[in-house]
Chains A and B, each alone.
Chain A
Amino acid sequence: MAVIEFKDVSHVMPNGIMALSNVNLKIESGEVLAIVGSNGAGKTTLLKHMNGLLKPSSGSVFVFGSETKGKSVAELSRHVGLVFQNSDHQIFSESVFEEIAFGLRNFGFAGEELYNKIISTLRWFDLYDLKDRPPMTLSGGEKKRLCIATVIAWNPEVLVLDEPTVGQDYPNKVRLFALIKSLIGEGRTVVIVSHDLEFLWPLSPRTVVMANGRILTEGSAESIFMDEELLNSAGLRQPQLAQLAMRLNLRSPFSSLDDAVTWFRGRI
């Protein structure tokens, strides 16, 4: 079943810019979907339609089968959790602890269950030592981590991430990767917008390429990232492992580093 569906969606900004034009897209339950494309392509605008922050100027968006028109962001967010591209637009509480508590309280968590959820989230994201800090004093990467934690805490069926790896170091990227894998394992759905193609590659997501408010094409990560011409036209570049396979004239790319290591070990 499609958890989210866009039908002929266009979105015109107040200044007249056509940020989305005629978008049709089905996001299936349990998949990882990557959305890529150049600056201004419409990726963030698309994501903001998924939890009702934006409503289509024409066309319809369906979340779990019902149209977003007339639904509140609060209602939709319980099921579709959006992590913002700019953390400063998401954060507003006085402390890291409160930031995580807020969303949970909104969705009806209370008492001991609330407290335990907050603490386990803080610990899992390695934010416990920062729990009393005003979020505005966190480093850029710490803020982003908090924003992801806040949404994960209430465990929405669909997790929507806008540039989640920005400012993330190695351990945090590993954690994020593991998190996405485990959510998918539990049957949840993950949508990621990212310019970090090295991060996306080993997730082998179904990939949607956007340009000028439209969906240019979609396909497996492999089919998209082995197509240099397409990448160039969409402001993208090949991830290193795809590039390497291509230069070696291999028919299919290395899906992971282990893959590449094995290939070379057998030959040198």
Chain B
Amino acid sequence: MSRATVEFRDFSFTYAGMKIPAVRGINFSVEEGSIALLAGASGSGKSTILRSINGLIPHIYPGEYKGDVFVDGQSVIETETFELARKIGFLFQNPENQIFMFTVERDVAFGLENLGYEPKEIKKKVEWALKLLGISDLAKRSPSELSDGQKQRVALAGSLVMDPKIIVLDEPTSLLDPKTAQEVVHLVEDLKRTLGLTVILVEHRLELVSAIADKIIILNKGEVFAEGKPDQILAKDNLHEAGLSIPPIIELQKRLGLVDSDAVAMDVDDFLQRFVQKWQL
């Protein structure tokens, strides 16, 4: 039996000075070595949930904390942030919040240096990560002098290089060009498959990540609105209500009445295989 790596139990959080909770009554768990996609309207609480996993909430953000969040069986509120940081790789929604060294390679190496890795080992790992994100040629550049998408790649490299058990990604592809975004999505799936990484990620564009998710959790106004396997979730007809944009190929199947309660073609190729070949168009 796999153990749950991240678990929310009756969790609610109200930011200091606010009247209503940003998230409330949250219950869900993410299995070890699986990918969970967190989706939902702007302001529905996605980033708040992520901050509660890596301990920014409650250790940095003050507020009213109720219930429990467990990471690898340990309660987040009782765990020091540095200890959480060792286990959890984190990508902020705004990459500028986490890149600050003078060169890209120093920036990516920063976490490893802190953990006392050998310089040789660091060099190897950093090279690996830079290559993975297609930014080897930026190694000597200053991170502050990059385009926003390049910054996001640096931030991603910095969180992947740490070889974390869990990785928490807040809109990891929002600034990436479409080709790189797709590559990062494949990369994440690869890391899950080969290293057994547990991944929790937030993304608005379902067409990009649904195919690799083991589970989708939809938040709406701070509460869990739906939870399930991607095709079950995408087959639902109330996604707009929760603020979700529906990928065109899914919407097409809905409009044509092709959607069973839990079966839907995720992308164009899948659609062609499932239906169009049968119709012999």
A contact residues vs B (CB 8 Å cutoff): 13-15, 17, 37-41, 43-44, 85-86, 88, 137-142, 145, 163, 166-173, 195-198, 232, 235-237, 239-241, 243-244, 247-248, 257, 260-261, 264-265, 267-268
A267 pairs with B251, CB closer than 8 A: no
List 6 other contacts, CB 8 Å, given A86-B148, A139-B43: A39-B147, A40-B149, A139-B47, A170-B243, A172-B42, A244-B249
Give the chain A neighbours of B178 by CB distance below 8 A.
195, 197, 235-237
Give the chain A neighbours of B256 by CB distance below 8 A.
261, 264-265, 268
The distance in angstroms between the C-alpha atoms of A118 and B253, with both chains bound, is 42
Give the chain B neighbours of A172 by CB distance below 8 A.
42
Contact partner of B174 among A37, A166, A235, A236, CB < 8 A? A166
For residue A215, give the distance in angstroms from its CB to the closest CB of chain B. Answer: 16
Contact with A along B137-175 (1 / 0, CB 8 A): 000011001111110110000000000000000110011
CB-CB contacts below 8 Å: B254-281 with A: 255-256, 267-269, 271-272, 276, 279, 281
B252 pairs with A261, CB closer than 8 A: yes
Contact partner of B177 among A38, A88, A138, CB < 8 A? A38
A15 pairs with B179, CB closer than 8 A: no
B42 pairs with A145, CB closer than 8 A: yes
Give the chain A neighbours of B24 by CB distance below 8 A.
none
For residue B248, give the distance in angstroms from its CB to the closest CB of chain A. Answer: 5
Of chain A, the residue at the smallest CB distance from B174 is A166
**Could you show 9 A-B contacts with beta carbons less than 8 Å apart?**
A41-B177, A163-B175, A167-B204, A172-B42, A195-B176, A240-B248, A243-B268, A261-B255, A264-B256
A85 pairs with B281, CB closer than 8 A: no
A169 pairs with B204, CB closer than 8 A: yes
Of chain A, the residue at the smallest CB distance from B279 is A268
For residue A212, give the distance in angstroms from its CB to the closest CB of chain B. Answer: 12
Interface hub of A41, A139, A171, A257 (most chain B Cβ within 10 A): A139
Nearest 4 Cβ contacts at the A-B interface: A141-B42, A39-B149, A169-B243, A235-B177
The distance in angstroms between the C-alpha atoms of A196 and B249, with both chains bound, is 16
B contact residues vs A (CB 8 Å cutoff): 15, 40-44, 47, 93-94, 96, 141-142, 145-150, 152-153, 170-171, 174-182, 204-205, 207, 239-240, 243-249, 251-252, 255-256, 267-269, 271-272, 276, 279, 281
Give the chain B neighbours of A15 by CB distance below 8 A.
141-142, 145
B243 pairs with A171, CB closer than 8 A: yes
Interface hub of B44, B96, B152, B204 (most chain A Cβ within 10 A): B204
A167 pairs with B175, CB closer than 8 A: no
For residue A190, give the distance in angstroms from its CB to the closest CB of chain B. Answer: 20
Contact partner of A166 among B175, B207, B249, B276, CB < 8 A? B175
B182 pairs with A237, CB closer than 8 A: yes
For residue A86, give the distance in angstroms from its CB to the closest CB of chain B. Answer: 6
Give the chain A neighbours of B176 by CB distance below 8 A.
39, 195
The distance in angstroms between the C-alpha atoms of A239 and B15, with both chains bound, is 39
A167 pairs with B42, CB closer than 8 A: yes
For residue A111, give the distance in angstroms from its CB to the closest CB of chain B. Answer: 31
Give the chain B neighbours of A195 by CB distance below 8 A.
149, 175-178, 181
The distance in angstroms between the C-alpha atoms of A137 and B41, with both chains bound, is 17
Give the chain B neighbours of A170 by CB distance below 8 A.
41, 239-240, 243-246
Q: Contacts A168-B204, A237-B182; is A142 near B43 (CB within 8 Å)?
A: yes
The distance in angstroms between the C-alpha atoms of A38 and B177, with both chains bound, is 5
Contact partner of B150 among A40, A139, A240, CB < 8 A? A40
Contact partner of B248 among A86, A88, A241, CB < 8 A? A241
For residue B222, give the distance in angstroms from its CB to the closest CB of chain A. Answer: 11
Interface hub of B40, B41, B145 (most chain A Cβ within 10 A): B41
